[in-house]
Amino acid sequence: MQGTKIRVEPPGEKAKKIVEETQKYLSPSIQRNYPFVIKQGKGAILEDVDGNRYIDMNAGIAVLALGTAPDPVVKAIESQARKFIHYSYTDFYYENIVTLAKELIKITPGRFEKKVYYGNSGAEAVEAAIKLTRYHSKRPRFLAFIGAFHGRTMGAVSLTASKPAQVRGFSPLLSGVEHVPYPYCYRCPFHMSYPECNLYCVDYIKENLFQKYVPPDEVAAAFIEPIQGEGGYVVPPDGYFKKFFKLMKDNEIIVVDDEVQAGMGRTGKWFAIEHFGVEPDVILVAKALASGLPLSALVSRAELMSWPPGSHATTFGGNPVAVEAAIATIDTIRKMKLLDNAEKVGAYMMKRLKEIEEKHEIVGDVRGKGLMIGAEIVKNKKSKEPNPAGANKIVEYSWKHGVLLITAGISTLRFAPPLIITEDLAEKALDVIEEGIKEAGKN
C-alpha cells in the first residue's frame, strides 16, 4: 500500500453502517474525533472499509511503533499462538516473561537492580503502582499533575485531571490525591516566564502544599508524565524535572514515571524521561510495548517490590503471545534503528511545523520531542485563546483528504505517527494538514 487515495468521501456507505451499529450496540461512553472505520493496513498506510487510503499520524494512539501489521510481530504472534496462548503467570511459570523482563530492565534508565510486574493496560500498570508505592512506603497520599492522564479505572482516574468528562459523576474518587500545576510554559498557571521564573512551579509545591496542608511524609508517590500526553503534548522546560525530583528525593517520595504514551522510543530515546537527566524509581510502559496486543509493565527499583505473595496479580497480565509481540517489537526497534528515525523524522516535522506556526495566525505553539509533537490551535497568537472548533476542523479536513490525525488537550493537534514513518510520507501528510490549517484560519 502506498500514499493516500480518497475514492469516496468518508464516511462511505460501509463506514456509515458500522458506525450506526456501533452506536446501537456498544457503550456510548467513548468519544471519537471522526468516523474512520479501518479495514486493514500496512506500515503507516491504512485503508478504510470503503477503500480509501490514509497516512497514519496516530499510530492507533501512540501504540503502533512499527506501524500496522508489522511482519516480525505477526510472525512472533503466530509462532507463540501455536505453542500456548495462555497459562496464567499468576499461578505458573513460562520463560518469555523473564526474557522480556531482562530487556525492559536493560532499556529503562537507571543502572540499579529492578523488578518487573506485568498487567494488560496502561491503567492496570498505574493501579499496580498506586498499590505498590502505598504498600512499600506505608504512606497514604499521592501527587499528580493538573492536565495529567493516567487512565480510567478508579485509582488511575483519581490521578487523572485532563477533562471534566473523565471524572464527572464518578466521585468519590481515591482519597489523598493532590494535583499540582504542570510546567506548561505556553500557558503558565502562574503567568510567569521561563527561565526568569526559576521554576517557581516546584517551589509552589513546597511552599503551598508541603508547608501548609500536605505533610510530605504522608506522600507515597508522585506520578509524572515526562511529556504530558492527553493533556496536550506539553513538554516541560529544561531543569524542571531535576528540581522536581530533588524535592521528591528530599522528602523520600517515590517518583512514578508514566511512559505509557511517551515511552518505547517515541521521543527518540527509549523513554522520554531520559531527555531530562533524571532517573525515576518506577517506570510504567504499555501502549507501544507489544505493538497493539494488550500488555503493560511496571519496572521498579527492586527494593520497592516488598509486597508479599498474594498481594497483587492478574489472570491475563504477561500473556505469552503479547510478551512475544513485545520481544519482537523491541528487537525490531533496535534492528531498524527506529530511535534514530524518530529523532530524524521528528526533527524534520518539527522544523516544518515551526514554519507553519510562523505563517498561520491560528497556530499558537509547536512543541515536542522526536515523534511526539503537539501544535496548539488558538483563536489568534495574541489572545492565545484555545480554539477547539479550529482544531476539530483541521482534523476533519485532514481525514477527508487522506491523513489520520487527532487532537489532545483542549485544542492541540497531536502528531504521533508510527516510528517507521519516512520523511516523504510525513511531508505528504503535513502538506494536507497545512491546507486544513489554512481552511480553518479563514473563519
Ligand X SMILES: Cc1ncc(COP(=O)(O)O)c(C=O)c1O
- Can you give the binding site for ligand X, defined by CB under 6 A? 121-123, 126, 149-151, 225, 229-230, 258, 260-261, 286
Which residue, 136 or 150, is less far from ligand X as judged by CB?
150
Which residue, 146 or 347, is less far from ligand X as judged by CB?
146
Beta strands in 352-402 (DSSP E): 363-369, 372-377
Which residue, 4 or 261, is less far from ligand X as judged by CB?
261
The burial class, CB within 10 Å (0-12 / 13-18 / 19+), for 430 is: buried
Shortest distance, CB of residue 323 to ligand X, whole angstroms? 16
Shortest distance, CB of residue 337 to ligand X, whole angstroms? 25
Which residue, 66 or 295, is less far from ligand X as judged by CB?
295
CA angle 64, 230, 164 (to 5 degrees): 140
Residue nearest to ligand X (CB): 122
Shortest distance, CB of residue 215 to ligand X, whole angstroms? 27
Distance, CA of 161 to CA of 6 (rounded, Å): 38
Which residue, 258 or 434, is less far from ligand X as judged by CB?
258
Distance, CA of 153 to CA of 127 (rounded, Å): 8
Which residue, 59 or 123, is less far from ligand X as judged by CB?
123
Shortest distance, CB of residue 163 to ligand X, whole angstroms? 12
Shortest distance, CB of residue 100 to ligand X, whole angstroms? 18
Which residue, 230 or 376, is less far from ligand X as judged by CB?
230
CA-based nearest residue to 419, from 87, 184, 70, 22: 70
C-beta contacts of 331-339 below 8 A and 24+ residues apart: 331/72, 332/66, 332/70, 332/72, 332/73, 333/65, 333/66, 333/264, 333/265, 333/419, 336/66, 336/420, 338/65, 338/66, 338/265, 338/419, 338/420, 339/265, 339/268, 339/269, 339/270, 339/419
Shortest distance, CB of residue 117 to ligand X, whole angstroms? 15
CA-based nearest residue to 319, from 354, 351, 295, 290: 295
Query: And the C-alpha cell for 116?
Result: 518487573
* CB burial string 300-321: b at 16+ within 10 A, e below: bbeebbeeeeeebbbebbbbbb
Shortest distance, CB of residue 138 to ligand X, whole angstroms? 25
Which residue, 285 or 440, is less far from ligand X as judged by CB?
285
Shortest distance, CB of residue 308 to ligand X, whole angstroms? 26
